[in-house]
Every structure is written in C-alpha cells, then in structure tokens.
C-alpha cells in the first residue's frame, strides 16, 4: 500500500474520532464509503495514545495488529478502541482526558524473519531507528515498535532483551536457537500538542 502524508493525517484523525466516539458515546465509529475504499488493503497497524503530563509525554495505551489480517480501516478502528479501553497496563481513558492525549498511528510493513547462523548475529542485523521487532518463543509473542528503542536510547542488545521481557521470557532468550525474531518497518504519523498531524521521523543513532 502506498501511503502519503495526507493519508497519514487522515488515519490519525480517524483514530482520534474512533477514540472519542467510543469514550464519549460508547459507539463504534462507522467509516464512510470513501474511507473504506481508500484503506481497504490489509495491513498491520498500531495505535499509540500518549498523555501530556507536566510538559512531558507518558504512554497511556498501545494496541495493534502486527500482521495484515484485516483491511487497514478495520484494523485501525479496532486498535484505536482497544488502545483506549483494553490495554491491560492502564485504566480505560475517560472523557476528561481526551483533551490531554496525543494520538499516534504506525502502519507496518509485513514481518520478515531475521535469518542468522548464530543468535549472536542478531544485533548486527537490527537497525535502531528503522526496525521494529517481534519475538516468537514457546507460544509467546512480544512486539516493540521501531520508535521504542529510540525513545529509550537502547543498544541493539538492550532492544533484544526488552523484546524478550515484553514476551514474558527471560532477557537472554533471544540467544536461544528456537527463538524466532522478525523485523518490520513503520510509517508513523502523530498529533502535535497544537492539534496538527505530522510525519514522525526517527533519528538514527550515531555510530
């Protein structure tokens, strides 16, 4: 799917509408015919909700679909509702919080298995500021979006350790030969505190 900045702005504004309709009226947003036609292709997508607190941003909810199982418009609607009300780490968002949140949408490329001869090769095959990761091990799955290691300043090794913890396994599990690690990239758009929507560019760490 080819997406431009205007599409990204539309997706973020749609996610905002979905969240507000769910929180205020407990109804599910129904997309227009034009919205459904434009975003009919199946795609992975995540909706992240941050809250402005004391001049800084704190995570308030993040849910999505890593694999292209649904048309983008449907995946976006489901992810937005779940991020606002079903993220197990947080209480559901209340109406009084709606003017304090920042909505971010990440549209994912298909997952690609990282092939290595030895698990020790993983850090060299991961680009911070570009790659998101998924770990599958023992029936457990963990996912971290590409913006996460940038925000926390992680090295590739730290990124892999936190990915393992996200999956509920020990931090060194990425060294196991039965672990499967996938990478993907994201197109990211987010609201600004002023209410605009902009493309989020991730900085690459200096070598």
For residue range 116-126, what is the model confidence (pLDDT) as tens digits? Answer: 999 999 999 99
pLDDT at 206: 57
Residue 186 and residue 200 in contact, taking contact as beta carbons nearer than 8 Å: no
CA distance 194 to 102: 10
Element (H, E) at 191: strand 186-191
What token pair was written down for 83?
């991020």
Count of alpha carbons within 13 Å of 98, Cβ hemisphere only? 15
pLDDT at 205: 65
Q: What percent of the chain has pLDDT over 90?
A: 90
Residue 175 and residue 134 in contact, taking contact as beta carbons nearer than 8 Å: no
Give residue-wise pLDDT tens across range 176-205.
999 999 999 999 999 988 889 999 988 776
pLDDT band at 54 (very low <50, low <70, confident <90, very high): confident
Q: Where in the chain is the domain with CATH 3.30.1490.150?
A: 112-184
The domain 112-184 belongs to what CATH superfamily?
Hypothetical protein ph0010; domain 2 (3.30.1490.150)
Please say if the pLDDT value at position 45 is more than 60: yes
Section 83-107 average pLDDT: 96
Neighbours of 115 (CB within 10 A): 8
Number of H helices, E strands in the chain: 5, 9
pLDDT at 203: 78
| 3-state SS, residue 38 | helix
If you average pLDDT over every residue of the chain, what do you get? 95
Task: Annotate 30-40 with b (16+ C-beta within 10 A) or e (fewer).
Answer: ebeeebeebbe
pLDDT at 149: 96
Give residue-wise pLDDT tens across range 8-30.
999 999 999 999 999 999 999 99
> Nearest-CA neighbor of 134 among 207, 99, 176, 184?
184
Section 141-156 average pLDDT: 95
pLDDT at 194: 83
Q: Where in the chain is the domain with CATH 3.30.700.20?
A: 5-108+186-199
Q: What percent of the chain has pLDDT over 70?
A: 98
Section 31-50 average pLDDT: 96
The CATH number of 5-108+186-199, from 3.40.228.10, 3.40.630.30, 3.30.700.20, 3.30.70.270, is 3.30.700.20
What token pair was written down for 21?
């309709």
DSSP state of 149: H
Section 101-120 average pLDDT: 96
Please say if the pLDDT value at position 77 is more than 70: yes
> Which of 50-54, 85-89, 167-171 has the weakest average pLDDT?
50-54
pLDDT at 207: 52
pLDDT at 190: 95
Residue 100 and residue 55 in contact, taking contact as beta carbons nearer than 8 Å: no
């Amino acid at each position: 799917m080819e997406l431009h900045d205007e599409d990204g702005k539309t997706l973020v504004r749609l996610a905002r509408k979905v969240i507000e309709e769910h929180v205020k009226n407990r109804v599910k947003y129904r997309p227009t015919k034009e919205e459904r036609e434009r975003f009919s292709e199946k795609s992975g997508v995540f909706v992240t909700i941050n809250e402005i607190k004391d001049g800084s941003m704190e995570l308030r909810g993040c849910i999505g679909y890593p694999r292209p199982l649904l048309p983008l418009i449907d995946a976006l609607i489901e992810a937005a509702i779940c991020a606002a009300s079903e993220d197990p780490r947080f209480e559901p968002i209340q109406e009084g919080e709606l003017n304090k949140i920042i909505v971010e949408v990440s549209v994912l490329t298909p997952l690609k298995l990282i092939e290595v001869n030895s698990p020790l090769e993983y850090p060299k095959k991961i680009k911070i500021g570009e790659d998101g990761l998924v770990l599958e091990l023992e029936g457990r799955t963990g996912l971290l979006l590409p913006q996460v290691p940038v925000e926390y300043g992680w090295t590739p090794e730290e990124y892999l350790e936190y990915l393992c913890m996200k999956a509920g396994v020990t931090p060194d599990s990425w060294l196991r030969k039965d672990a499967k690690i996938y990478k993907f990239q994201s197109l990211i758009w987010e609201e600004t505190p002023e209410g605009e929507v902009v493309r989020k560019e991730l900085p690459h760490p200096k070598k």
